[in-house]
Chain A
Amino acid sequence: MKIAVLSGKGGTGKTFVAVNLASAASSAQYVDCDVEAPNGHLFFNPVVDETHVVNVKRPVVDNDKCIGCQACVEFCNFNALAYVKKGVMVFDDICHSCGGCALVCPEHAITERDDRLGVYTLGHSENVSVVTGMMDIGKISGVPIIKALNTFRSELTVVDCPPGSACSVIESIEDADYCVLVAEPTTFGVHNLKMVYELVEGMHKPLGVVLNKCTADKNPAEAFCQSEAITILGKITYDPILGKLGSEGKIAVRQLTYYQLFFKGLLDKIIWEVSHETNANS
């Protein structure tokens, strides 16, 4: 079973929820798809067993063979190529590594080379196996790393997604059976919750919301869930102790019985929802 944890806005508690859900299980796999700023490992502090490099393909043009037909330039949907003064210029940062330019070249003047994008590491921390994707500094898109991370799946896999609702998030939830949306009670938070809700709905993934940082005040995120009849999986009350534990890089579930029980309950609820969804759709 694969559960993806996401939220439109950053800082709502994705990593907090994902790390604690994985920790609350008897055994689980935690996959950090926030490859631009992975931070689940700061909590798990895993023993790293393996490191794998993720490469992408970039075109290499042999200008001696090039006849200047510009077939590659015209083919590239991302405009990553230009033909100037009897030579092809390649803009690596724009290239999406589709390999199409090499295929359309009538002179076979284009080959591909490996370009390192980042790494992913496999490690373990008590009951959790920790998979962390890390994009190298200065790279533009981490999607190919997330694609590599998508091949990981176990009995229970918890995916920590990047913030936002763009390509990297779409890729992160691609293989998920269920999406947990973490929302905070702010106007900005609700705005981004709506965006990510539309995205997950559009991808026909079952979903539920965890309301984080709840106070006695009105909760606009809760109001949104009620108006859209979205399942509320649980509410986490604003608790300064969680802030303190977070700042110390500690996992609440491993420190406090209250949160151990809370996240066990939340996990059970999600697992029930997933099996319910499966039955409903079969």
Chain B
Amino acid sequence: MKIAIPVDEKDLNTTVCVSFGRAPFFMIYDTTSKQYDFLDNSAAASSGGAGIKASQSIVNQGVEVLITPRCGENAADVLKAADIQMYQSKKGLGKDNVALYLNDGLSPLSAIHEGFHNHGGK
């Protein structure tokens, strides 16, 4: 099973990124191979619809679990349609969050925000 998490750097000791759609990278952990992999988020520079595009990448990677600090409405629609489970990340390192998840230490993401469309004014 693959677990994805938005992160700030392409580094094993990277912190979790505050944004999902506009995170520069996704850290992807494969529970079968126990390997970490990094994915460039091509959606980060989108003028709009970043959450949808980022979700598409996650879906195409065959990810089943997403650990994230937040998620917008449109992104959540795509992720839910793909049956990807969403968990609320905790502040700190990406790999620590993966470990927490594997030990049932994270709760499902409950709040889906409306998105920051239109200059973040919403």
Contacts and interface: CB of A to CB of B under 8 A. Distances in A.
A79 B50 contact: yes
Contacts of A81: 52
Nearest to B81: A84
Contact of A94 (B43, B55, B59, B74): B74
B56 interface: yes
Contacts of B78: 82, 84, 89
Given A73-B56, A94-B48, A89 B43 contact: no
Interface in B47-64: 47-50, 52-53, 55-56, 59-60
Nearest to B48: A78
B59 A79 contact: no
A145 interface: no
Interface string B31-72: 000000000000100111110110110011000000000000
B52 A79 contact: yes
A91 interface: yes
B82 A94 contact: no
Contacts, number: 47
A80 interface: yes
Interface string A120-151: 00000000000000000000000000000000
B42 to A, nearest CB: 10
B55 A82 contact: yes
B49 A89 contact: no
Interface in A60-89: 70, 73, 76-85, 87, 89
B64 to A, nearest CB: 13
B49 A78 contact: yes
Interface residues of B, number: 18
B49 A79 contact: yes
B82 A91 contact: no
A45 to B, nearest CB: 32
A91 B81 contact: no
Contact of B48 (A73, A79, A84, A87): A79
Interface in B78-117: 78, 81-83
A47 B47 CA distance: 42
Contacts of A94: 48-49, 52, 74
Contacts of B83: 85
A169 to B, nearest CB: 14
Contacts of B48: 78-79, 94
A80 B74 CA distance: 10
B9 interface: no
A89 B53 CA distance: 12
A59 to B, nearest CB: 14
B103 to A, nearest CB: 30
B52 A84 contact: no
A235 to B, nearest CB: 33
A112 to B, nearest CB: 19
Interface of B: 43, 46-50, 52-53, 55-56, 59-60, 74, 77-78, 81-83
Given A78-B47, A82-B55, A82-B56, 12 more contacts: A78-B49, A80-B52, A82-B78, A82-B81, A83-B56, A84-B78, A85-B81, A89-B77, A89-B81, A91-B49, A91-B77, A94-B74
